[in-house]
Amino acid sequence: MFKLSELVRWLGLTEFEILVNLCGLLVFTITLAFKISGTLNYVFPELMSDWFSIFSPLFFVDICNAYFCVIVGIRMYLDADNKRKVLHRFMWSTYFLVLIAIFKYLLCLKLSGKMGLEYSEVFSPIFVLLQLVAVRACQLPNS
């Protein structure tokens, strides 16, 4: 298993962002279990029929993380001597959030059947993100 410090370095996410993602994933898992089991279809039929409403906790987490990254980026930019490093971190966070959000959106479209997407097309943002993480992991110093 990876240590938290390794995950923070390799993914370029802070501990707070990881915590927010895990909380959103917990709520998503609960709503997905209700969707699959069909227990809430009787109480909230219009809510549980749409895949975008099931994925809404994950989209909300992306919005919260984007807001957090913008605030941290602005504060770091104003306080830092090395503006290039701050800009690099902000761009990495932006790439990460955009690619994950595109993946979730394409997955919702695929599951709802609105577009005839192949799974290779749906997972292409994840493939790009994995390549970026691999490059980032190779560039980091060993410590």
What was the pLDDT predicted at 23? 95
Residue type, 59: F
How many domains does one find in the chain? 1
Is residue 48 predicted with pLDDT exceeding 70?
Answer: no
Digit-coded pLDDT (tens) for 91-124? 888 998 999 999 999 999 999 888 888 999 999 9
What was the pLDDT predicted at 106? 94
- Among 9, 1, 11, 2, which residue's Cα sits nearest to residue 143? 9
* pTM of the complete model: 0.84
Domain that includes residue 133, residue range: 4-139
Q: What is the mean pLDDT of residues 19-32?
A: 92
Q: What is the mean pLDDT of residues 26-45?
A: 81
Q: 4-11 vs 15-37: helix axis angle to the nearest 10?
A: 90
